């Protein structure tokens, strides 16, 4: 009787092994679920970035305000007839 119980227990464990530790096991499903959640979060961030870039491209194609802002900030350009004042922070200027 004892041998029969051991054989049945071994058979039960051999049948359960693939379900818990095999290729399509519960542990693998949990790992893939965690990866899916992380990938969805990454996709959301990339989608927001792509939407911002699309809006910027649309502004550059249609409006002149974005082009003017970039010219002023990145290239230091000013309009004809404008006066440019640069204010220096006294704390950052070297003393002679």
DSSP symbol at 76? -
What is the residue extent of each domain of the chain?
Answer: 22-75
Q: What is the pLDDT of residue 95?
A: 67
CA dist., res. 82 & res. 85, Å (int): 10
Q: Distance (Å, rounded) from C-alpha 89 to C-alpha 5?
A: 86
Q: CA-CA distance, 30 to 25, in Å (whole number)?
A: 9
pLDDT recorded at residue 84 = 78
pLDDT at 44: 97
pLDDT of residue 11: 85
What is the pLDDT tens value at each position of the chain, 96 positions in all?
888 888 888 888 888 777 777 777 788 888 899 999 999 999 999 999 999 999 988 887 887 877 788 788 888 888 888 887 778 888 777 766
């Amino acid at each position: 009787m004892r041998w029969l119980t051991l054989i049945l227990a071994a058979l039960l464990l051999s049948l359960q092994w693939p379900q818990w530790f095999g290729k399509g096991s519960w542990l693998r499903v949990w790992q893939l679920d965690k990866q899916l959640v992380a990938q969805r979060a990454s996709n959301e961030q990339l989608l927001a970035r792509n939407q911002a870039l699309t809006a910027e491209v649309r502004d550059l194609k249609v409006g002149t305000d974005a082009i003017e802002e970039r010219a002023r900030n990145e290239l230091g350009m000013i309009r004809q007839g404008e006066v440019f004042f640069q204010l220096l922070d006294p704390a950052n200027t070297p003393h002679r």
